[in-house]
Chains A and B, each alone.
Chain A
Amino acid sequence: MKWAIVRFPGSNCDEDARFALEKAGIRAEFVWHTAQDLRGFDGVFLPGGFSYGDYLRAGALAAKSPVMAEVRRFAQEGRYVIGVCNGFQVLTEAGLLPGALLANLNLHFTCKEVGVRVERTDLPFTRLYRQGQVLRLPIAHAEGRYYADPETLKRLEGEGQVVFRYAPLGEEAHYNPNGSLNDIAGIVNERGNVLGMMPHPERAVDPILGGEDGLPLFLGLVQEVAG
């Protein structure tokens, strides 16, 4: 299996994404933001970072890169696309996922471990998790407050497109780190092949890094293909 990791100018979790994919046994190749062709790849990973410095709005300028037209086509064919953190922002800015990611309510970049509940397990990304399982995953972003208009939100909830939700790890009352509506941490498109999430599963794939709760996400992709 071979995945493309798109490198926008300013992406900085590209190496981390490769590390996680390879750890799960997936071959990973970097693809430049000017690429026009994603044939031969089984999936596309949009990594975190500060594409174009996050200038104007996080993900806004990257969403206009040439490669994004190809990512759109790729997604329309039903193949897998994952956007993490800045990658999620790029996906919403490009209209591949509904809604938008606004400035955290605390108005600053926040890097810490949070609880993330798995809301559905019938997706390749989540098939190795248990329904309702609360993962420990790091977040690191300044614009992660998920927003969508009430209708869109209702549709997302109705169709079960919310995949990950912030949840308490212990008894803490303030577990939503950024003010996301409905505690949303990650969503999929209707078809279920495009995933966007703010927490970083690729940073939690080895005990040395403080946890492995992100690894099953990548292993799930492998299993999906293995059948």
Chain B
Amino acid sequence: METLAREIGIPQEEYRAILKRLGREPNRVELFLFKVMWSEHCAYKNSRPLLKELPKEGEAVLQGPGENAGVVRIGEGWAVAFKIESHNHPSAVEPFQGAATGVGGIIRDIMSMGARPIALLDSLRFGPPEDERSRYLLKGVVSGIAHYGNAIGVPTVGGDLYFHEGYRENPLVNAMCLGLLREEHLKRSRASLGRPIYYAGAKTGRDGIGGAAFASKELSEDKEEDRPAVQVGDPFLGKLLMEATLEAIQEDLVEGVQDMGAAGLTSSLSELAHKSGLGVELDLDRVPTRERGMGPIELLLSESQERMVLVPKEGKERELEEVFRKWGLDCVPVARTIPERVFRVLFRGEVVAEVPTEALAEAPTYVRLAQEDPEVKRLRETPIPPLAADPGETLLQLLASPNLASREAVFERYDHQVGTRTALVPGKGDAAVLWVKGTRLGIAAKVDQNPRYSRLHPRLGAMHALAEASRNVSVVGAKPLAYTDGLNLGSPETPEGYHELQETIAGLKEASEALGLPVVSGNVSLYNESGGRRIPPTAMVGVVGVLEIDKRAEMGFRRPGEVVLLLGEEEGELGASEVLYLLTGQEVGHPPRIDLERERDVQEAIRELIALGLTQTAHDLAEGGLLVALAEMTFPYGLGATVEVRKGGLAALFGEGASRILFTVPKERLAEATLRLETRGLPYRILGETGGKTLTVLTPEGVLEWEVRALLAAWQKPLREVLDG
């Protein structure tokens, strides 16, 4: 067994731990159970001790981390379940199916909480668009997300997308899903004693066997033939499964729900039992199969898609079966809960595995040596080279640069309205807004992260990610309630990699505390590196907030003659900025510092202005700084503006920084708005006025002027060419 353990990649010290917990040698099947359950993907061996530090409590929190998704209250008895999840490795192998099954998986997580999935966001990272393979991956991933999300009828309402050299070999594909539920319908992965456990949905085949373990290994150089079978998503079956499951919950037929994700039956059943403080006996002969001759290991580890596990309420077994029959789906009891706290597996009438559930669920954790990568430090401390460029040209070039260009070519492929809840579609606001029909409540959501900041300063980068996602939610008028984090990093087994993991989580912790935002769910994907090159530490942060639906702000100038104001500092910084990269090809310098108290105040202030109806147009300043943000505000309605700035240098026009927001106020309410800001002691400046068909900027060095149409054309073209070409 020890040899087999080595062959399938179980480290020696873990094999010893297995012997100790079992008090005997595992058999072959048991060894594979440990293999998948103790994979980084399932067990969070390296991140668990660090994640413990994050704040998880909050007024709105109904369910924190530890379940299939987090849940927050939004009022009037409604709650929102949400979570982000990565599907990086499968997407690198087969972008279309990898992304599609990623979407399917996160949707089932949300269903498991008893919530109806109502929105998706996607957070994508690829190598530079000039790279042919990166383009191929981008196109495949976007098509795959569209394929699954559109067909299952969950709108994709937002996301973010960055190109960066660091993702050339390791693209990132994370999907976030939000679900809506009545508080009383909240479900957990629980079962009481002696209950049958039902298997529902698609039949089991040999798909993605060992995928969970695979996801935690470095992408090998194996030939394509050697790679595990690709999992194929079936959004059609997924839709039927979703409706049947939600109907069963609605009709109050189930006490517990659990999706079958990574490590399939093994993980879903053993965790369900473990969380319930019970054991489970699984009869593999009852599992519906698609292929003949599947052995116990294959059945236990298969990652066939569109499958769920349900525990009926006592006496509701028949009704549950009936619901699934109506939707044309298998729904059969395959297991039952038992008092002994073991995961017992029967195959052809014999016990083929029996392992304490606790031993499977609680893998050893690691705390490792951390040390900053000296190269990162060197880059961060590299002085910013002197920059000289014509601002007129620079704005056009920045707008056309891959990280700033319009994402329309991406989100146009996603149905962002199905469900008739979408009140702010992508491109109209900094965050998506969904309407809870039948109420005046709205839900806002946005996911964000800047790889340049995180690469040069992992801690600060993580703080920015949370601050920006939260700011985006605030500028549409919503109060941020909580967040989910998708942590994507390199191997923790090097001191540099572990340092980045540690720093990233430390940054999140600091920002969470300062902004008063708890984490309620998340995902960790490590070992995103190849040839010793780690991806930039990437903490994709998805923030969810709540608003009064009629009091929402858009990002585009709509009415001529409104006053344009800047809240926050006038000048930005050039370290790690897009304009620096554009002009020099370098990613160096210290990313903008962030004053978290200021951040909180600025967000509160803009929410107040929106709630009071003083502004209906607000947009945060991000990559590309002031002029890019102004240009972006002219795009949705083609309305221009004339503004005056006190400084004309590149840092003032294109520098970046946190806690900055542009917004407009009708003239007659200007005094009221500024008074509010003064009361809060916040810096602001009146920049100018909306109107006309140009963006006109008066600087001490002269007047800059662009046709809105010309800016728009420059901004729209690049990604269209990549995606449609």
Whether chain B is bound by chain A comes out as yes
B580 within 8 A of A: no
B528 within 8 A of A: no
Count of B residues near A, CB < 8 Å? 33
**Residue numbers in B under 8 Å from A16 (CB-CB):** 418-420
Closest to B549 in A: A208
Q: Measured between C-beta atoms, what is the minimum distance from A218 to chain B in Å?
A: 13
CB atoms of A111 and B415 under 8 A apart: yes
Interface string of A173-212 (1 = CB under 8 A from B): 0000000000000000000000000001011011011100
Instruction: Give the secondary structure class of A's interface.
Output: mixed
Q: Measured between C-beta atoms, what is the minimum distance from A209 to chain B in Å?
A: 6
CB atoms of A50 and B150 under 8 A apart: yes
CB atoms of A140 and B150 under 8 A apart: yes
Cα A109 to Cα B155 in complex, Å, equals 13
CB atoms of A9 and B236 under 8 A apart: yes
Chain B interfacial positions (CB closer than 8 Å to A)? 143, 146, 150-153, 234-237, 239-240, 327-328, 411-420, 422-423, 425, 428, 435, 437, 549-550, 724
A53 within 8 A of B: yes
Cα A112 to Cα B409 in complex, Å, equals 11
Chain A interfacial positions (CB closer than 8 Å to B)? 9-10, 12-13, 15-16, 19-20, 48-50, 52-55, 106, 108-112, 138, 140, 142, 200, 202-203, 205-206, 208-210
CB atoms of B415 and A10 under 8 A apart: no
Q: Which of A15, A20, A142 contacts B419 (CB 8 A)?
A: A15
Cα A20 to Cα B151 in complex, Å, equals 21
Known contacts A106-B724, A108-B143, A53 near B236 by CB under 8 Å: yes
Besides the contacts A110-B413, A203-B420, what 20 more A-B pairs have beta carbons closer than 8 Å?
A9-B240, A9-B327, A9-B328, A12-B151, A12-B152, A13-B153, A50-B150, A50-B153, A50-B235, A53-B151, A53-B234, A53-B236, A110-B412, A111-B413, A111-B414, A111-B417, A112-B412, A205-B420, A208-B549, A209-B420
**Residue numbers in B under 8 Å from A15 (CB-CB):** 419-420
**Residue numbers in A under 8 Å from B413 (CB-CB):** 108-111
Q: List 13 A-B contacts (CB under 8 A).
A: A9-B327, A10-B239, A48-B418, A50-B150, A53-B234, A53-B236, A54-B151, A109-B146, A111-B150, A140-B415, A209-B420, A209-B422, A209-B423
Closest to A52 in B: B236
**Residue numbers in B under 8 Å from A106 (CB-CB):** 724
CB atoms of B435 and A209 under 8 A apart: yes
Closest to A54 in B: B151
Closest to B327 in A: A9
Q: Measured between C-beta atoms, what is the minimum distance from B76 to chain A in Å?
A: 16
Q: Measured between C-beta atoms, what is the minimum distance from A113 to chain B in Å?
A: 9
Q: Measured between C-beta atoms, what is the minimum distance from A107 to chain B in Å?
A: 9
Known contacts A49-B153, A53-B234, A108-B146, A202 near B420 by CB under 8 Å: yes
CB atoms of B235 and A53 under 8 A apart: yes
Closest to A110 in B: B412
CB atoms of B150 and A19 under 8 A apart: no
CB atoms of B151 and A209 under 8 A apart: no
Q: Measured between C-beta atoms, what is the minimum distance from A187 to chain B in Å?
A: 23
Q: Which of B235, B240, B414, B437 contacts A19 (CB 8 A)?
A: B437
Q: Which of B146, B423, B428 contacts A208 (CB 8 A)?
A: B423
Cα A9 to Cα B237 in complex, Å, equals 9
Q: Measured between C-beta atoms, what is the minimum distance from A66 to chain B in Å?
A: 14
**Residue numbers in B under 8 Å from A202 (CB-CB):** 420
Q: Measured between C-beta atoms, what is the minimum distance from B429 to chain A in Å?
A: 11
**Residue numbers in A under 8 Å from B327 (CB-CB):** 9
Cα A138 to Cα B428 in complex, Å, equals 15
**Residue numbers in B under 8 Å from A108 (CB-CB):** 143, 146, 413
Closest to B235 in A: A53
Q: Measured between C-beta atoms, what is the minimum distance from A103 to chain B in Å?
A: 13
The CB with the most chain B CB atoms within 10 A, among A16, A49, A55, A109, is that of A109
Q: Measured between C-beta atoms, what is the minimum distance from A42 to chain B in Å?
A: 22
Cα A165 to Cα B234 in complex, Å, equals 34
Cα A147 to Cα B152 in complex, Å, equals 27
**Residue numbers in A under 8 Å from B235 (CB-CB):** 50, 53
The CB with the most chain A CB atoms within 10 A, among B328, B416, B549, is that of B416
Cα A110 to Cα B724 in complex, Å, equals 12
Q: Measured between C-beta atoms, what is the minimum distance from A26 to chain B in Å?
A: 16
